[in-house]
Structure 1
């Protein structure tokens, strides 16, 4: 059976609701903290599993209550965690998340056990042609590069979510087939690569010849964009009342990877399904816990046809 392999971070999320996000030097009174499983890698693995894919995860947690809770959640979601290590004397990674009344967030991450990962952990010996590797950047970039290189040598299709946005990109994308980025990330990549454009959507065309991989650009309420067969395709977002945007991008990545595993040639259909799923995530609170199952996603919205973006050739 073809598999989505995910290598990345696991965190316990400490979420505090606030009326508005604090500015520099500002103290804001919030709600009681709520703890839940998260981390970009773990979120994307759960999303791919709930989308219906076979999923295996590589990562690390501390030998503490938070770490064991996260592993139990992953296992219940159907994620194979045989390559996830429990590390002694190191806490599980932590993300402190402030969420305002509009559902927007600010996130501060302490890596904890995620920093214990090594190049030896990055090898996926059972991976083979037809499988997909999903990567993010909440673990050190040299490990991400190593994982991509090893996977590519075995014929895997490599998807990277360049988040958090990297400030150094030398050789980072050499073995990546598809890059998934939001508005902030695509802007920083363009600046780092010395590429100028009048519109973020133009970068979906102009960045791949410079960076290497194809790009899917997620633009929040505007939907997502990609170049397919030479044309810039726009998949509109679904209008929902935003409860919490935490995990929405990770849901998109996981669902997209699962869809591509089933049909590598239909990127637009994968974007449509991922867009539906991420909209449901935005309408819920939490990270892993907010990720919808495939059945919910298929019933939630009427499927739109991809539209040509306004003002783009």
Structure 2
């Protein structure tokens, strides 16, 4: 298959470890502070390239130290950076993350250069070069919708992870091969609400070909007019859930790139996400294809 193109954000994650997450107006004492590479788009691109896919990344970083570190890391991972923008107009994006002792997190994203990704930059991409196009919501929505339209017109398999959660235009829903929200995001993008089953039916009735809902420790389920497929998440010891959903999307795209069928792709994606939560950090926790295959096989046997 042709390479994957990921259009999205790149951030530097500043992670504070705390015994428990603060409530509204509350200050808690942290136990440590760490810095990691992150951003939903970059996370998904790195997860895909580490599992053996050829991946191009479309995004923007500043000319600051965080931007320099990001570019160096991308180059080491082997990402195609022809469409990465370096700008002096804004600093590189950052995410401020609190993680408690149970691995739960709270995240605040400051977009910086990610907010400058626009339709002109999207127009510099020849989507006919690519077989799979992946998008999220951490860059301006105008650029996301513009890119999805171009990717769909070029015949790409289109994947949208609607996070942070925001409404998706009805026209865009009809262009999606895979819509990949978690349960919280599904509730927000649903206009009618109601039960889980009713929200699934709403998305399918609006033209989404495949709705994949990630379910955390319960795994993931794919719903379509052709039938439903559910896969469990392998049982692992959780250290940090930051970036697990992004890992799922990236490994899922890479599995399709490798020629896996839907159920196989879901199993590999669930295994990759499960492995990611056993380590601290987003991209720092992503592993290669061999480890994912081993865990996915064990999950099937068990």
Change (3 A) 1:119 1:110: same
What is the match of residue 180 of structure 1?
Answer: 180
What is the match of residue 209 of structure 1?
Answer: 205
> Could you tell me how far 1:262 is from its partner in structure 2?
2.4
> Could you tell me how far 1:171 is from its partner in structure 2?
3.4
What is the match of residue 281 of structure 2?
Answer: 286
Change (3 A) 1:116 1:228: closer
The separation in 1 between residues aligned to 2:288 and 2:181, in whole angstroms, is: 23
What is the match of residue 233 of structure 1?
Answer: 229
Asked whether the 8 Å contact 1:50–1:294 carries over to 2, the reply is: yes
The separation in 1 between residues aligned to 2:35 and 2:25, in whole angstroms, is: 25
> Could you tell me how far 1:201 is from its partner in structure 2?
5.3
> Could you tell me how far 1:30 is from its partner in structure 2?
0.4
The separation in 2 between residues aligned to 1:169 and 1:33, in whole angstroms, is: 39
1:300 has 2:295 as partner: yes
> Could you tell me how far 1:203 is from its partner in structure 2?
3.6
Asked whether the 8 Å contact 1:204–1:217 carries over to 2, the reply is: no
What is the match of residue 194 of structure 2?
Answer: 196
Asked whether the 8 Å contact 1:123–1:151 carries over to 2, the reply is: no
> Could you tell me how far 1:68 is from its partner in structure 2?
1.0
1:149 has 2:149 as partner: yes
- SS of match in other structure, 1:162: coil
Asked whether the 8 Å contact 1:246–1:282 carries over to 2, the reply is: yes
Q: Deviations over 1:149-208 (max 9, x none)?
A: 111111111100011110464534242221001010111122xx21432xx356434421
- SS of match in other structure, 2:31: coil
Gaps of 5+ in 2: none
Aligned-residue Cα RMSD (Å) equals 2.1
Asked whether the 8 Å contact 1:131–1:156 carries over to 2, the reply is: yes
Asked whether the 8 Å contact 2:40–2:246 carries over to 1, the reply is: yes
The separation in 1 between residues aligned to 2:40 and 2:167, in whole angstroms, is: 18
> Could you tell me how far 1:213 is from its partner in structure 2?
3.8
- SS of match in other structure, 1:82: coil
What is the match of residue 171 of structure 1?
Answer: 171
The separation in 1 between residues aligned to 2:247 and 2:218, in whole angstroms, is: 17
Instruction: Choose 145-154 or 222-231, whichever is displaced more.
Output: 222-231
TM-score normalised by the chain length of structure 1: 0.91
The separation in 2 between residues aligned to 1:126 and 1:145, in whole angstroms, is: 16
1:87 has 2:99 as partner: no
> Could you tell me how far 1:270 is from its partner in structure 2?
0.3
> Could you tell me how far 1:228 is from its partner in structure 2?
5.6
What is the match of residue 310 of structure 1?
Answer: none
What is the match of residue 256 of structure 1?
Answer: 252
- SS of match in other structure, 1:101: coil
TM-score normalised by the chain length of structure 2: 0.94
Asked whether the 8 Å contact 2:271–2:296 carries over to 1, the reply is: yes
